[in-house]
């Protein structure tokens, strides 16, 4: 996460953060705080947002979206998760110095290639990148465990976006433990148009499964399949409890999954709360062929591999 190398002049750095897929997403009945207990296995895959932070006297944030993702709506000023990271780091710094008056100052540019509102933790990736970049730029030297704690306050997926790789997440997804993963898994990602909001999908899941157990489905079977290193075995173990709710809200996702599997994917599923769908393939070559076939029938289809690193300095 944090990086010891000195910054060049002018002080500026770029941090890259990856999208995530939930290989297993077990969901339990909602807790008293409204969040759902999860047992999940995340994998970071090679679709990235890059965040560049430059030293400045005031605060500004701009976002550039990869045209391949189509027209997307982004949160307005002050609403963006990167603004929230900056405010949180500054309030921590104020607390440490007991001085007050530390306002965020930096020019930040986010270049997005992760599907927006797609169930791939694009916002969490930006937040993780912002934590790493601003911590460096402002010389805060926040210990990793404190950064993970601050990240968890802002969003359930952000601690995973910091650590990357493959990891099990429990609690509401924010308590993460790295998992050994020597596989090189090949994926096709189809960012379906028209976002499903995460809270809406959870609410719909509550309505569909009013008698759900408070215990989420455990991840053990998935972890065993992952250790085999065999995509055919992993394909049989992929599991997403939110898929039923996402497909009920967007029946076209069921058709898309069938289409990708007919094109040669070992298994397709909704990513997290959707609407992005992901397809596990036998090899990178097979993923290219599946993506080609999906594109020929009018879909946007990206290839990706995992696991990849968490948020890290690239320049």
State the catalytic residues.
20, 157
Query: Is 237 annotated as ligand-binding?
Result: no
| 119 in a known ligand binding site | yes
122 is in an annotated binding site: yes
124 is in an annotated binding site: yes
> Residues 123, 128, 129, 131: is their CA dihedral positive or negative?
positive
Measured from the CB of residue 35, what is the shortest distance to ligand C5P in angstroms? 4
Q: In this complex, which beta carbon is closest to ligand C5P, that of residue 172 or of residue 239?
A: 172
- For residue 172, the minimal CB distance to ligand C5P (Å) is 3
Minimum CB separation of residue 228 from ligand C5P in Å reads: 28
CB 141 within 8 A of CB 135: yes
Please list, in sequence order, all residues whose beta carbon lies within 8 angstroms of the beta carbon of residue 235, skipping any fewer than 6 positions away.
266, 267, 280
- Residue 117 is assigned to a ligand binding site: yes
Q: Tell me the DSSP string of 164-210.
A: BSEEEEETTTTEEEE------EEEEEE--SSPPPHHHHHHHHHHH-T
Closest to ligand C5P by CB, 155 or 307: 155
Binding site for ligand C5P (CB under 6 A): 35-36, 38, 155-157, 172-173, 198-199, 202
Closest to ligand C5P by CB, 156 vs 243, is: 156
- 8 A C-beta contact, residue 14 and residue 50: yes
Kindly tell me which of 157 and 293 has the beta carbon lying closer to ligand C5P: 157
Alpha carbon separation from 166 to 114, 178, 229, 232 (Å, rounded): 18, 6, 13, 18
- Measured CA to CA, the distance from residue 44 to residue 54 in angstroms comes to 26
Smallest separation (angstroms) from ligand C5P to the CB of 174: 7
Q: Which residues sit in the known binding site? A: 115-125
Q: Which residues sit in the known binding site for ATP? A: 115-125
């Amino acid at each position: 996460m944090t990086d010891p190398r000195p910054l060049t002049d002018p002080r500026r750095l770029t941090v890259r953060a990856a999208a995530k897929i939930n290989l297993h997403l077990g969901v339990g009945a909602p807790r008293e705080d409204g969040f759902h207990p999860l047992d999940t296995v995340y994998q970071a895959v090679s679709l990235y947002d890059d965040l560049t932070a430059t030293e400045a006297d005031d605060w500004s944030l701009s976002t550039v979206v990869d045209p391949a993702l189509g027209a997307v709506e982004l949160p307005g000023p002050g609403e963006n998760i990167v603004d929230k990271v900056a405010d949180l780091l500054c309030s921590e710094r104020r607390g440490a110095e007991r001085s007050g008056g530390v306002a965020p100052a930096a020019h930040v540019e986010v270049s997005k290639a992760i599907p927006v509102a797609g169930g791939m933790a694009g916002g969490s990736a930006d937040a993780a990148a912002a934590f790493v970049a601003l911590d460096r730029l402002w010389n805060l030297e926040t210990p990793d465990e404190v950064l993970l704690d601050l990240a968890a306050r802002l969003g359930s997926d952000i601690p995973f976006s910091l650590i990357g790789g493959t990891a099990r997440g429990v609690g509401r997804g924010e308590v993460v433990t790295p998992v050994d993963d020597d596989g090189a898994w090949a994926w096709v990602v189809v960012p379906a148009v028209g976002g499903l909001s995460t809270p809406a999908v959870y609410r719909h899941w509550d309505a569909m499964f009013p008698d759900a157990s408070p215990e989420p489905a455990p991840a053990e079977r998935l972890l065993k399949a992952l250790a085999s290193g065999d995509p055919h075995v992993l394909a049989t173990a992929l599991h997403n409890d939110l898929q039923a709710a996402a497909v009920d809200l967007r029946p076209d996702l069921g058709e898309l999954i069938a289409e990708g599997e007919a094109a040669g994917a070992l298994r397709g599923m909704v990513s997290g709360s959707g609407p992005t769908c992901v397809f596990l393939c036998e090899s990178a070559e097979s993923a290219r062929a599946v993506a080609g076939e999906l594109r020929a029938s009018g879909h946007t289809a990206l290839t990706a591999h995992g696991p990849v690193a968490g948020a890290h300095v690239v320049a």
